[in-house]
Structure formats: structure tokens, C-alpha cells
Amino acid sequence: MSSTGRELAQEHQLLRDAFRERHARVVRLDQDDASFDAEYGQMVEQAERLLEFEKGVPARLAEPQRERSERFVKWSWRAETAVAALLIAAVFVVGNTAWWLVLLVPHLLATLMGWTVEVTAARHVHQRRVAVGLHVLCVLVALVSLGVVSAWFLITVPVGWIVVGVASEDTPVKGQTR
């Protein structure tokens, strides 16, 4: 069990013990007793804390992996932006036709928009896979624009953009509320 799992188990046990103690107090009291209502109210509050904790356990267990995914996704988009900028510079340095900018500028802008992606606990694995797909697309863009592979592969670049775009659909953006 991970340290996070152990900490959660200990915290859960403490909450359960506190609830049991409250319940034992309430059971010992007569319903007509003056302190019954106060003890019962505290037991209900303790039960609500326990239930709220239990609802959050899956997200808290997934948090370390979500953080790793967040770093991977964040640096993937940044790296691909840098590669797109280098490819734009390479067009001018190598002396290729400026028509390649029709391919590279939208690619640069799309990778810049990826910087705003928020990695959530529920979708972090999916977002990591999208980032891997982005790497594949970027390699394809680089190979086509540098002339390593046939220009006929240019047709696959917009298809790749659509695939990454559709896969990124419904991905939360930082600062956006749903």
C-alpha cells in the first residue's frame, strides 16, 4: 500500500472510530434525555464527515498519478510548441518555400492552445494518451515539413489535427467553469 493509501486508511479509521464512539453514546441515552438531541446531532455530523471523506477517497488515491500525468501533459504541449517554432524557423533557414507556413503556423497556434488544458483526476489517463498522440502528430509534421517523407503525407496532418482535437474535446481549460 502506498503512503497515500496508508494515510487515507488511518484517517478513515479515525473517522470511523469517532463515529462509533458517538453512536455508542447515543445508544446509551434515553430518547427523552435532555442531552439526546445534542448527541444525536453530533453523531449525524460525524456520519456526514465520514461519508464526505469516503466520497473523496478515489480522487485522493488517484492524485499522485494525476500529478504525474499533469506534468507529462503540460510539458508535452510546451515541447511541441517549441518544436513548431523551430520548424517555422527552419523553413526560413533551410530556404524552403513559405507555403510550409500554412501547415506550421496553425500547428504552432494549436499547441499554444494546449497550454491551457487542465488535467483532471477523472480524465488524466485519457489526457496523457492525447499528449502521446500529439507527439506522434508532431513527428509527422516535422518529417513532412523537412522533406524527410513524401509531401503526400501532408494529407495526414489535418487528419491528425482532427483526431487530437476530437480526443481533446470536453477537456477542461484552466479558468473555465462548467
Q: What is the pLDDT of residue 178?
A: 46
**Within-domain flag for 110:** yes
Confirm whether 173 is domain-assigned: no
Domain-embedded: residue 176: no
- DSSP-derived secondary structure for 4-62: HHHHHHHHHHHHHHHHHHHHHHHHHS-TTSTTHHHHHHHHHHHHHHHHHHHHHHHHHHH
Q: Give the range of the structural domain holding residue 121, as residue numbers without chain letter.
A: 3-168
Q: Specify if 35 maps to a domain.
A: yes
Element (H, E) at 149: none
> Can you give the pLDDT of all 178 residues of the chain as single tens digits?
567 778 888 998 999 999 999 999 888 888 888 888 888 899 999 999 999 999 988 888 888 888 999 999 999 999 999 999 999 998 888 877 778 888 889 889 988 888 888 888 788 888 899 889 888 988 988 888 888 888 788 888 888 888 888 887 766 666 655 4
81's CB contacts (< 8 A; 6+ apart) are: 108, 111, 112, 114, 115
- Supply the pLDDT for residue 46: 93
**Number of domains observed in the structure of the chain:** 1
pLDDT of res. 118: 85
Task: Name, in order, each residue with C-beta under 8 angstroms of 54's C-beta and a sequence gap of 6 or more.
Answer: 12
At 174 the pLDDT is: 65
The answer to the question of residue 175 being in a domain is no
In a domain, 178, yes or no: no
Rounded to two decimals, the pTM is: 0.67
Give the model's pLDDT for residue 80.
92
Residue 86's pLDDT is 93
